[in-house]
Amino acid sequence: MAKKPGDLSFREALRQVHNRIVWLCLVLVCGFGLFQLHAHPKTPLPDAWNATRPLNVTDPETPLTSWKLGRALATPSACLEALATSSDFAPMDPLEISDNCHIRNQVRLRGLGSTRLAAVETSCAIALRSAMWVQHDLQPAAQDILGGGLERIEHLGSYNCRPIRTGSSNETRWSTHATAEALDVSGFRFGGGQQISLVRDWDGPGPKGAFLRFARDSACDWFRTTLGPEFNRLHADHFHLQSRGWGTCR
Among the listed residues 14, 32, 36, the one whose alpha carbon sits nearest the alpha carbon of residue 24: 32
Toward Zn ion, which CB reaches closer, 68 or 129? 129
Tell me which stretch binds Zn ion (CB under 5 A): 43-51, 145-153, 215-223, 239-247. 239-247
* Sequential DSSP letters for 62-88: -TTHHHHHHHHHHSHHHHHHHHTTTEE
Q: In 3-state terms, what secondary structure has residue 9?
A: helix
Among the listed residues 129, 142, 158, the one whose alpha carbon sits nearest the alpha carbon of residue 195: 142
Toward Zn ion, which CB reaches closer, 72 or 109? 109
Toward Zn ion, which CB reaches closer, 59 or 181? 181
Tell me which stretch binds Zn ion (CB under 5 A): 74-82, 99-107, 142-150, 235-243. 235-243
Min separation Cβ 146 and Zn ion, Å: 25
Angle between helices 124-133 and 76-83 in degrees, nearest 10: 40
Min separation Cβ 155 and Zn ion, Å: 10
Amino acid at 113: G
Distance CA 219, CA 129 (A): 9
Min separation Cβ 29 and Zn ion, Å: 53
Tell me which stretch binds Zn ion (CB under 5 A): 10-18, 125-133, 146-154, 183-191. 183-191
CB 128 within 8 A of CB 73: yes
CB 179 within 8 A of CB 102: yes
Strand residues in 36-177 grouped as ranges (E): 87-91, 95-96, 102-103, 106-112, 115-123, 150-157
Compose the 163-182 pattern: x for residues touching Zn ion by CB under 5 A, - for all others.
-------------------x
Toward Zn ion, which CB reaches closer, 103 or 182? 182
Q: Is 137 in the site for Zn ion (CB under 5 A)?
A: no
Tell me which stretch binds Zn ion (CB under 5 A): 91-99, 130-138, 209-217, 232-240. 232-240
Q: Is 240 in the site for Zn ion (CB under 5 A)?
A: yes
Min separation Cβ 165 and Zn ion, Å: 8
Question: What is the separation, in whole angstroms, between the first and last Cα of the chain?
Answer: 80
Q: Which residue is nearest to Zn ion (CB)?
A: 240
Distance CA 59, CA 64 (A): 11
Q: Is 59 in the site for Zn ion (CB under 5 A)?
A: no
Amino acid at 122: T
- Among 59, 181, 184, 201, contact with Zn ion (rule: CB under 5 A): 184
Size of the site for Zn ion (CB under 5 A): 3
Residues that bind Zn ion (CB under 5 A): 182, 184, 240
